[in-house]
């Protein structure tokens, strides 16, 4: 297991002692030094690094909103649906589709992100396809 994929203290303990895990993280963030003394402190540090340090990001996007914007504007078909979390239930359950839509609106609407409207327009079209309704309803 790679230290970047650890999501619990048990995961960190499986990697070695606190000192060994500190040394591994220090190799990745050199010249910075890690001053953690417990696995809980290391886990908290990893949570910060996943947000602030590019090498610890689980994907090549700077944020979840940027990833969603890419999926909406650059992908289509099954791959886009998979990455956006769309399942067959979203086509059958309008309330589920509406909740999914509202969650994503907060991440891509220019009112919240100060970006262009391309992702929002793509999201509206996708929601209309899911529900056979207008996104404004």
pLDDT, residue 84, reads 93
Give the other-Cβ count within 10 Å of 121's Cβ: 14
pLDDT tens, 85-107? 999 999 999 999 999 999 999 88
Whether 134 shows a pLDDT value over 70: the answer reads no
Tallying the residues shown for the chain, one arrives at: 137
Burial level of 74, CB count in 10 A (0-12/13-18/19+)?
Answer: exposed
DSSP symbols for 65-115: HHHHHHHHHH--HHHHHHHHT--HHHHH-HHHHHHHHHHHHHHH-HHHH-S
User: Max Cα separation, the chain?
Assistant: 57
Q: How many whole angstroms separate alpha carbon 11 and alpha carbon 31? A: 25
Residue scoring higher pLDDT (130 or 64): 130
Q: For residue 6, which of 77, 73, 72, 58 has the smallest C-alpha distance?
A: 58
Q: Using an 8 Å Cβ cutoff, are 34 and 41 in contact?
A: no
Whether 137 shows a pLDDT value over 60: the answer reads no
């Amino acid at each position: 297991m790679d230290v970047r994929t650890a999501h619990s203290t048990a995961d960190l303990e499986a990697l070695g002692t606190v000192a060994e895990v500190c040394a591994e993280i220090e190799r990745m963030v050199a010249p910075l030094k890690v001053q953690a003394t417990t696995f809980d402190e290391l886990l908290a540090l990893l949570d910060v690094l996943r947000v602030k340090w590019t090498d610890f990001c689980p994907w090549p996007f700077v944020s979840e909103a940027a990833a969603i914007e890419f999926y909406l504007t650059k992908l289509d078909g099954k791959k886009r649906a998979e990455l956006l979390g769309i399942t067959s239930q979203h086509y059958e359950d309008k309330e589920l589709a509406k909740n999914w839509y509202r969650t994503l609106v907060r991440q891509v609407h220019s009112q919240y992100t100060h970006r262009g409207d391309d992702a929002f327009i793509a999201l509206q079209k996708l929601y209309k396809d899911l529900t056979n309704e207008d996104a404004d309803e």
